[in-house]
Homo-oligomer: A and B are copies of this chain.
Amino acid sequence: MNFSTTLHARWQQAQTLLCVGLDPDPARLPANVPATPEGVLEFCTRIVDATAEFACAFKPQVAAFAALRAEGALEALIAHIHRAHAGIAVVLDAKRGDIGNTARWYAEEAFGRFGADAVTVNPYMGGDTLAPWLEYRDKGVFVLCRTSNPGAGQLQDLALADGARLYEHVAQLAAREWNAHGNCGLVVGATRPDELARVREIVGAQMPLLVPGVGAQGGDLPATLAAGRTQTGGLLINASRAILYASSGADYAQAAHEAARALRDAMRA
């Protein structure tokens, strides 16, 4: 599977920009789901099956599994997505960043062990630490650019001597240097559509942008679409909590189905 080809085909065929985030919070699982590796695997598998028709991608959060010693469940979940929902890519939300040797081990973890099609990574240590990821030409590598958390701007909005903000500089590096194999994307939150528009302006129409922050984090969907969408799609708009916890009862999968459909429809409107 080539990530970029798969993503473009899915955007075209399913007409959806929705990325379903799989961040199983032990404190928010439905009452009948135990906070165990088995419980989390069952919960996520049912969410996946209930939302796949509305999804352009799934984005499991490694931390949620790691805190529960549930790496085996994460492997099984991704294998299930590939088997049951071929054509929908898996973006592993790992936000790794380390020197060359170590980055290669993390890439082996993400792409080999977990079987992800794409990953999120952190640019603070520089392009040589992203290279071991970008060498996987069939995979997607989403570099953190302007994130959706309240304090994101503390570093990312810093004004540089040349007038650019740090996040703009990261977008420029992505466009000029890191995307030599056409497999680089960026993470840009939905909480500041003006900044999303600025990133789109810098990187052009071809680079996919992974956009968290719609839903529970308060991002504005129409403004996000206006700022970042392209003719072919261009965005993976992530929603996690708004889908996973649409109901805290035994009907959580049906509620997730409805929530995902509503988001997909809102993105089409």
Answer whether residue A170 sits at the interface, using C-beta atoms and an 8 A cutoff: yes
Interface pair B170/A149, CB less than 8 Å apart: no
**Distance between Cα atoms of A166 and B156 in the complex (Å):** 10
Interface pair B102/A126, CB less than 8 Å apart: no
**Distance between Cα atoms of A38 and B222 in the complex (Å):** 53
Interface pair B148/A126, CB less than 8 Å apart: no
Answer whether residue A153 sits at the interface, using C-beta atoms and an 8 A cutoff: yes
Chain A: interface residue count, which band?
Answer: 35 or more
Answer whether residue A218 sits at the interface, using C-beta atoms and an 8 A cutoff: no
A59-67, A245-253, A261-269 - the one binding chain B: A59-67
Contacts of A156 in B (CB 8 A): 124-126
Interface pair A125/B101, CB less than 8 Å apart: no
Interface pair A158/B160, CB less than 8 Å apart: yes
**Distance between Cα atoms of A99 and B151 in the complex (Å):** 9
Contacts of A152 in B (CB 8 A): 125-126
Contacts of A147 in B (CB 8 A): 99, 125-126
- A137-155, CB < 8 A from B: 144, 147-155
Given the interface contacts A66-B105, A106-B67, A124-B144, does A99 sit within 8 Å of B149 by beta carbon? Answer: yes
Answer whether residue A23 sits at the interface, using C-beta atoms and an 8 A cutoff: yes
Answer whether residue A113 sits at the interface, using C-beta atoms and an 8 A cutoff: yes
Contacts of A124 in B (CB 8 A): 97, 122-124, 144, 155-156
